[in-house]
């Protein structure tokens, strides 16, 4: 399990042009409580709420201009009329998307809003006590990083992390804030803070300036561990000896969100070969799990004749059979 902190600027990057796109955060969402533990502070939540509209405004200021003036010198070319149509279509589509964006801004239902809300619902929010706030202010006043311009937010987040992250656990720290960077090398963590962390927590701190960088450095290890865990669970499902174990294994399998075709086939074969699975396959949790992993894969799975009865048992009709009936 990797212990992870993302500062408010990383979350807010979902509203602008950063390299941390929605897919990166959706990927992160699937790893929560299985491969990563995210530390979320009340301070970060407040900073996101305060700065959301400013981030959106800055992004829209760059996106709104779509005027493409066409000088007279273009009119003599064969492509002119077609190009003019494309420009007009672009303007119309631009107007439509801006209208939808405006509605979603007001309803706080932008795709970025929804992703952040979904992730935050899984996390514990750590709020600063009055004593910790006083400690953070004192830290700033004596000149210790992080923080600038009488802003104590970074100091509060830092003191909270020192308080809530377990000792001897490495912290993966993702921030684009210069207050946490080395003056000599902006890709390195502030040396004072690094030494403080090592001394007080007896562990390391690893610094990244974006979520994309974090994944580039760690995703391979995370995915390997995840794949090994899935393989082991599939084996256990194939050999489990009672209904209670079946439900327990299905619960663990349900925490994973991506499956290869081969893994889906093995899961179906487990239901075919082990009566402790197929006897209760219509139970809600088991049926829901199988239907979830089979989304968009049903027709391909029906190509394996020996698995037809399992697929039909959980409510699917054979699309290949339907097609042959229509042909006749």
With tokens 């209904």, the residue in question is 243
- Which pLDDT band holds residue 22 (cuts at 50, 70, 90)? confident
* Among the listed residues 72, 9, 2, the one whose alpha carbon sits nearest the alpha carbon of residue 35: 2
- Which pLDDT band holds residue 322 (cuts at 50, 70, 90)? low
Q: Which domain holds residue 159?
A: 2-211
SS3 253: helix
Query: What is the rounded CA–CA span in Å between residue 93 and residue 81?
Result: 19
* 237 within 8 A of 267, measured Cβ to Cβ: yes
In tens, the pLDDT along 196-242 reads 999 999 999 999 999 889 988 887 776 666 778 888 999 999 999 99
Look at the chain and report how many structural domains it folds into: 2
Does 72 reside within a domain?
yes
With tokens 């075709």, the residue in question is 261
Query: What is the rounded CA–CA span in Å between residue 157 and residue 5?
Result: 10
Sheet holding 171-174, edge to edge: 125-126, 36-41, 2-6, 171-174, 205-208
Does 283 reside within a domain?
yes
* 146 within 8 A of 154, measured Cβ to Cβ: yes
The DSSP code for 48 is: H
- Which pLDDT band holds residue 328 (cuts at 50, 70, 90)? very low
* Residues in Cβ contact with 59 at an 8 Å cutoff, skipping those fewer than 6 apart: 15, 16, 17
Does 325 reside within a domain?
no
If asked whether residues 178 and 306 sit together in one domain, one would say no
If asked whether residues 137 and 8 sit together in one domain, one would say yes
In tens, the pLDDT along 132-158 reads 999 999 999 999 999 888 789 999 999
If asked whether residues 46 and 174 sit together in one domain, one would say yes
Query: What is the rounded CA–CA span in Å between residue 74 and residue 311?
Result: 61
If asked whether residues 195 and 303 sit together in one domain, one would say no
Does 167 reside within a domain?
yes
pLDDT beyond 50 at 327: no
pLDDT beyond 60 at 290: yes
pTM of the model: 0.70
If asked whether residues 246 and 289 sit together in one domain, one would say yes
Structure tokens at 201: 């927590």
* 167 within 8 A of 203, measured Cβ to Cβ: yes
Query: What is the rounded CA–CA span in Å between residue 110 and residue 56?
Result: 10
If asked whether residues 287 and 313 sit together in one domain, one would say yes
């Amino acid at each position: 399990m990797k212990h992870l902190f993302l500062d408010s600027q990383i979350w807010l990057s979902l509203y602008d042009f950063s390299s941390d796109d929605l897919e990166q955060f959706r990927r992160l969402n699937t790893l929560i409580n299985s491969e990563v533990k995210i530390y979320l502070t009340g301070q970060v939540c407040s900073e996101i709420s305060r700065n959301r509209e400013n981030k959106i405004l800055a992004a829209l200021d760059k996106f709104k201009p779509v005027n493409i003036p066409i000088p007279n010198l273009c009119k003599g070319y064969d492509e002119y009329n077609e190009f003019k149509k494309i420009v007009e279509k672009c303007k119309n589509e631009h107007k439509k998307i801006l209208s939808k964006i405006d509605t979603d801004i007001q309803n706080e239902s932008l795709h970025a809003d929804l992703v952040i809300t979904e992730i935050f619902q899984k996390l514990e929010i750590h709020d600063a006590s009055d004593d910790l706030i006083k400690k953070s202010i004192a830290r700033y006043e004596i000149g210790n990083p992080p923080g600038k311009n009488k802003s104590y937010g970074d100091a509060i987040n830092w003191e909270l992390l020192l308080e809530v992250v377990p000792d001897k656990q490495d912290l993966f720290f993702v921030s684009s804030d210069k207050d946490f960077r080395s003056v000599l090398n902006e890709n390195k963590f502030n040396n004072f803070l690094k030494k403080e962390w090592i001394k007080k927590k007896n562990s390391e701190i690893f610094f990244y300036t974006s979520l994309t960088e974090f994944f580039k450095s760690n995703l391979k290890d995370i995915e390997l561990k995840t794949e090994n865990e899935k393989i082991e669970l599939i084996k256990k499902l194939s050999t489990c000896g009672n209904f209670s174990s079946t439900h327990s294994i299905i619960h663990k399998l349900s925490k994973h969100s991506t499956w290869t075709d081969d893994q889906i086939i093995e899961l179906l074969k487990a239901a075919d070969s082990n009566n402790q699975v197929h006897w209760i396959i219509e139970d809600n949790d088991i049926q829901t799990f199988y239907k979830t992993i089979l989304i968009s894969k049903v027709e391909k799975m029906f190509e394996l004749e020996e698995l037809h009865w399992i697929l039909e048992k959980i409510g699917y009709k054979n699309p290949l059979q339907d097609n042959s009936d229509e042909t006749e």
